[in-house]
């Protein structure tokens, strides 16, 4: 049986531990190269497949980049290297350069000790389950290098940053600009450090850049989208109109208004959706996830905007958007997908959609978000034994039913098993903060009594 390495967002782990080792990653590159080369029916016999590799700013990226390059070359695949590049930038360049695949070396919002590998297809989408399974199956085969004359070549894409900057700018209307706006940009010492500021500055904004001095060890360290106090402080310090904070690989972002009040992905999606509805630009409805705040669902009901939930993870949001033929969706974490602009979630492009709503309306972020007040939400992780099936436990079901009856239509209970750890996640939300806290603890205690660890 083939061991499963791919998760919902590629392969990720602690550097030096399997699977994030040079040996494994070289074999992964080789297997991916063989699978991708055999899958492309448009290549002639004389053409070699080509793959783009981008990375964030972690020091381990150098090592893993070399390992991937060696594996791909051994499989007869040419390699194009961008250096530091946001994840959505790799997806865009893979399409623009008509390549067979794109690979990102990143662990997103994780600390620098972690790293990961994720793939994009020739169309800029995540690989299908079938392709991932084929790559994993190839890891069981020996790594046998192609003859020297058939080895892949490698070269740098020297204008990669410039290409992606122009692409991001193209998603903002030509009749608008950002003159008169002071924007603080926190790049999390990550992959947007040399991209985001240029995009916003060239559109006319007065830019203050923070978190843009990567040293290989400081990515996401007390800055960026996962450490929001940094952007809140900077906005007030520099008397800015707005703040934008990205995560380490640039596929998600959050915002702060001029008073330092934060707005997460759920709230920002509401602003984009309402603006698009007003401009007759909203195609269909909006896709959230099981974790999307109930207040967001109720808000969309008032606006008569269709809303549905996918499983947690941007991959599932994307799949449901494609199934329904809709264009807008995302998560509270700030991962927002605008399929009319890009094939994947893009922090810079998502921020531009919010800025467009501000410029079109002449309103501040505070004014645009009125009416979108998130319900109190509490999440408790309860340790369980491996294979614990909470669905079969009567006391847990009874506790959940009691909570749902008390919260009524203005509350929600979600019990969800973690996909990576022996944990059961208990999430309760509703209008009453006291009720939310009470029922989250009540259900969690009921669980603990049943598990009896």
Nearest partner of 342 among 199, 220, 169, judged by Cα: 169
CB burial of 391-414 (b: ≥16 within 10 Å; e: otherwise) equals: eebeebeebbeebbeebeeebbbb
Q: Which residue is listed with tokens 């409805």? A: 285
Q: How far apart are CA 363 and CA 125, in angstroms?
A: 34
CB-based contacts of 312-318 (< 8 A; 24+ apart in sequence): 312/416, 313/8, 313/9, 313/289, 314/9, 314/251, 314/344, 314/345, 315/8, 315/9, 315/126, 316/8, 316/289, 317/287, 317/288, 317/289, 318/125, 318/126, 318/344, 318/345
Q: Which of 73, 106, 108, 228 is flagged as catalytic?
A: 108
With H, G, I as helix, E, B as strand and everything else as coil, classify residue 439: helix
Instruction: Take residue 19 and report the two structure tokens written for it.
Output: 């699977």
418 labelled catalytic? no
> What values do phi and psi take at 293, rounded to 5?
-60, 140
- Helices 160-170, 87-96: axis angle to 10 degrees equals 90
Question: C-alpha 139: how far from its chain's center?
Answer: 27
Question: C-alpha 49: how far from its chain's center?
Answer: 27
68 close to 28: Cβ distance less than 8 angstroms: yes
Q: How far apart are CA 312 and CA 315, in angstroms?
A: 8
105 close to 54: Cβ distance less than 8 angstroms: yes
Instruction: Take residue 63 and report the two structure tokens written for it.
Output: 């090592």
> What values do phi and psi take at 169, rounded to 5?
-60, -35
Nearest partner of 431 among 374, 371, 393, 367, judged by Cα: 374
76 close to 46: Cβ distance less than 8 angstroms: no
Annotated active-site positions, please? 108
């Amino acid at each position: 049986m083939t061991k499963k390495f791919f998760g919902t967002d590629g392969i990720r782990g602690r550097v030096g531990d399997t699977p994030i080792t040079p040996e494994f990653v070289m074999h992964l590159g080789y297997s991916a190269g063989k699978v991708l080369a055999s899958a492309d029916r448009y290549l002639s016999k004389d053409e070699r497949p080509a793959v783009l590799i981008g990375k964030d700013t972690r020091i381990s990226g150098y090592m893993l980049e070399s390992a991937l390059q060696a594996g791909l070359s051994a499989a007869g695949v040419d390699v194009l290297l961008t250096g530091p590049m946001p994840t959505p930038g790799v997806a865009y360049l893979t399409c623009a350069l008509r390549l067979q695949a794109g690979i990102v070396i990143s662990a997103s919002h994780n600390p620098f000790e972690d790293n990961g590998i994720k793939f994009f297809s020739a169309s800029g989408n995540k690989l299908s389950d079938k392709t991932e399974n084929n790559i994993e199956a190839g890891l069981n085969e020996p790594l046998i290098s192609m003859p020297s004359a058939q080895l892949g070549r490698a070269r740098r894409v020297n204008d990669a940053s410039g290409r992606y900057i122009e692409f991001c700018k193209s998603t903002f209307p030509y009749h608008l600009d950002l003159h008169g706006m002071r924007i603080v940009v926190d790049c999390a010492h990550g992959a947007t450090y040399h991209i985001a500021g240029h995009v916003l500055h060239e559109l006319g904004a007065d830019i203050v850049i923070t978190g843009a001095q990567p040293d290989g060890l400081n990515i996401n360290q007390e800055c960026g989208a996962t450490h929001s106090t940094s952007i809140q402080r900077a906005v007030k310090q520099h008397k800015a109109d707005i703040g934008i904070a990205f995560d380490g690989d640039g596929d998600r972002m959050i915002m702060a208004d001029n008073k330092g009040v934060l707005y997460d992905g759920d709230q920002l999606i509401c602003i984009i959706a309402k603006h698009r509805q007003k401009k007759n630009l909203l195609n269909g409805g909006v896709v959230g996830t099981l974790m999307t705040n109930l207040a967001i669902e109720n808000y969309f009901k008032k606006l008569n905007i269709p809303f549905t939930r996918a499983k947690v993870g941007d991959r599932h949001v994307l799949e449901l958007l494609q199934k329904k033929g809709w264009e807008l969706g995302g998560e509270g974490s700030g991962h927002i997908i605008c399929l009319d602009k890009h094939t994947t979630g893009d922090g810079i492009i998502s921020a531009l959609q919010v800025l467009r709503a501000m410029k079109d309306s002449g309103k501040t972020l505070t004014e645009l978000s009125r009416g979108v007040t998130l319900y109190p939400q509490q999440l408790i992780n309860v340790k369980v034994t491996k294979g614990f099936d909470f669905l079969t436990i009567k006391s847990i079901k009874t506790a959940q039913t009691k909570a749902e009856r008390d919260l009524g239509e203005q509350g929600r209970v979600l019990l969800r098993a973690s996909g990576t750890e022996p944990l059961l996640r208990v999430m309760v939300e509703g209008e009453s903060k006291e009720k939310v806290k009470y029922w989250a603890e009540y259900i969690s205690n009921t669980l603990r009594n049943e598990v009896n660890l």
